[in-house]
């Protein structure tokens, strides 16, 4: 157990608690910001989560916040509260490189729209957090900033692409942050690090960052910005601040609902534990059942339910992102060498369909069935992408119809894993291209989905999967071995524009699991220090 500095208790509070503390004068903004800077200095040498610091500026801004309070000026919702943001989001005076050395001198001229909203709400940015190269894969390492380690186990990744955010929030260096999500990038780090996050409805918080705006061009799978924190109430507050912006090329977002007005006992909840692609680890399946039981005890109507054809959803997602030789990523990496985690897939995505099919046949002969199946989704043209976009519209209709026809009446919420397993060992994303369909199906659909921690892997659940010749199966086997004590979260998805329903369900789950001994947190009194697990 690490010894606590006199102000270390401040780093165990939520953003809303800190805002109230500062507003009452029980602690100054300078004290709060300084406590988080000291926590970052303590943990960051081990986890390398914060890769751009602005400590001096943050302390000056905190002092200005204290002066504002002393004058009796009106205070904004996050007045004096320290936060972190994902490195790719523009903040004047800091680089936005997306983990690419060729962009090391890329300094924006204006703040990202959502970052500016939090600044206007009184937040103080203490640093920016690590990402994978071009935000492409489910780890957070790159040639410019190096590798971020999971604070629960430094031999494992915090996930990606918002992995630096997940790691520093879990470790107590920040109570709140902003990340982005195009394929689970908010939710996988939350699940791997034992925190909460929310991917809003597309396009409520469309990602306006320069790379995302230029590359994805409002396509059928759009990157969105969302909050990460240790408390569901912080997600709800952040959504109030960033969730109502409009754009001339996008439909106006529908009004945000109030999570506190949702009667969870009147909700219909479906749940599933297996996507048919990646067998869930025992603790992952247990967590979903426990969350379902919590909602059932709260009066919700809960039933087991299976979404339609998740194989199809995964295939469409990969085809849309890799069509036309992965031109989106090829343009991004024009001046940088692809990182090892994506080098093979990146190379394959640029091959012709005929070449890919030949390689796929060879993989089948070598009994590499899971890789062969994924390659069936690679090598398509730009014209093919137009067809897949229409097919994706058809899948969205089928999914909505399946929710409407569920036993017991139309579903309001779907519970599932966020990933088939707890946090992966470093480098595993070479074989584990996705964590299954669990997260990416909601990027394809555009539905809001969040993650809330539920439990930790028990010693008897850290069991090895059967040995296999398939390299994907063997990578999954390595994940489970030694995973005892790691956090496990559950994904909560709602219908489009119903973020408040997802948040209300997450709040009920959080309130119950916080009473339990195996609730996964690192920063409460008696919690673990960085890198320590039972």
Residues catalogued as catalytic:
86, 161, 185
Which of the 8 DSSP states describes residue 456?
A: E
Among 66, 238, 82, 38, CA closest to 175:
82
**344-360 burial string, b = 16+ CB within 10 Å, else e?**
ebbebbbbeeeebeebb
Among 119, 140, 122, 57, CA closest to 94:
57
Residue with tokens 């394809």: 444
Spatial separation of the C-alpha atoms in residues 234 and 441, rounded to whole Å: 25
Spatial separation of the C-alpha atoms in residues 76 and 294, rounded to whole Å: 35
- CB atoms closer than 10 angstroms to residue 4: 11
Among 412, 82, 77, 85, CA closest to 227:
85
CB 132 within 8 A of CB 140: yes
Residue with tokens 């977002």: 253
Query: How far does Cα 276 stand from its chain's mean position?
Result: 22
CB 413 within 8 A of CB 493: yes
CB 221 within 8 A of CB 385: no
CB 126 within 8 A of CB 33: yes
* Orientation angle between helical segments 15-24 and 232-242, nearest 10 degrees: 80
Among 258, 54, 154, CA closest to 528:
154
């Amino acid at each position: 157990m690490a010894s606590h500095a006199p102000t270390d208790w401040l780093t165990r509070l939520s953003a809303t608690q800190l805002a109230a503390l500062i507003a009452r004068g029980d602690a100054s903004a300078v004290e709060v910001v300084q406590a988080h800077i000291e926590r970052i200095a303590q943990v960051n040498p081990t986890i390398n989560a914060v890769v751009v610091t602005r400590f001096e500026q943050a302390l000056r801004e905190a002092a200005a916040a204290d002066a504002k309070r002393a004058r009796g000026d009106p205070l904004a919702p996050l007045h004096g509260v320290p936060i972190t943001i994902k490195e790719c989001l523009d903040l004047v005076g800091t680089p936005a490189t997306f983990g690419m050395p060729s962009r090391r001198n890329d300094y924006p001229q204006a703040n990202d729209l959502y970052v500016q909203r939090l600044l206007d709400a009184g937040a103080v940015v203490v640093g920016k957090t690590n990402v994978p190269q071009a935000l492409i894969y489910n780890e957070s390492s790159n040639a410019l900033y190096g590798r971020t380690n999971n604070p629960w186990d430094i031999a494992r990744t915090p996930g990606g692409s918002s992995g630096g955010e997940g790691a520093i929030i879990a470790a107590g260096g920040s109570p709140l942050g902003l990340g982005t999500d195009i394929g689970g990038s908010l939710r996988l780090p939350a699940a791997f690090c034992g925190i909460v996050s929310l991917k809003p409805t597309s396009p409520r918080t469309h990602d306006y960052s320069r790379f995302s705006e230029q590359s994805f061009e409002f396509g059928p799978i759009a990157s969105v910005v969302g909050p990460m924190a240790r408390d569901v109430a912080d997600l709800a507050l952040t959504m109030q601040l960033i969730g109502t912006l409009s754009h001339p090329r996008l439909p106006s977002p529908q009004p945000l609902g109030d999570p506190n007005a949702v009667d969870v006992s009147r909700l219909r909840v479906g749940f599933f534990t297996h996507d048919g692609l990646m067998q869930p680890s025992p603790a992952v399946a247990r967590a979903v059942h426990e969350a379902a039981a919590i909602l059932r005890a709260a009066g919700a109507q809960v039933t087991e339910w299976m979404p339609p054809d998740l194989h199809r959803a995964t295939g469409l997602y990969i085809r849309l992102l890799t069509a036309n030789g992965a031109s989106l990523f090829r343009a991004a990496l024009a001046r940088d060498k692809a990182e090892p985690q994506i080098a093979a897939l990146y190379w394959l995505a640029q091959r012709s369909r005929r070449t890919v099919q030949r390689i796929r046949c060879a993989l089948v002969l070598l009994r590499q069935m899971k890789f062969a199946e994924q390659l069936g989704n690679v090598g398509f043209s730009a014209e093919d992408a137009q067809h897949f976009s229409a097919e994706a519209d058809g899948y969205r209709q089928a999914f909505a119809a399946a929710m409407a026809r569920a036993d017991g009446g139309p579903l309001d919420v779907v519970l599932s894993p966020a990933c088939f397993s707890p946090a992966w060992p470093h480098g595993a994303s070479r074989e584990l291209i996705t964590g299954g369909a669990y997260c990416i199906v909601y990027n394809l659909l555009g539905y809001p989905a969040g993650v809330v921690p539920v439990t930790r892997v028990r010693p008897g659940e850290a069991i090895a999967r059967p040995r296999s010749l398939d390299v994907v199966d063997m990578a999954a086997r390595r994940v489970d071995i030694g995973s005892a004590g790691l956090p496990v979260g559950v994904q909560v998805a709602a219908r489009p524009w119903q973020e408040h329903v997802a948040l209300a369900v997450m709040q009920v789950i959080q309130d119950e699991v916080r009473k339990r001994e195996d609730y996964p947190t690192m920063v409460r009194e008696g919690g673990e220090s960085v890198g320590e697990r039972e």
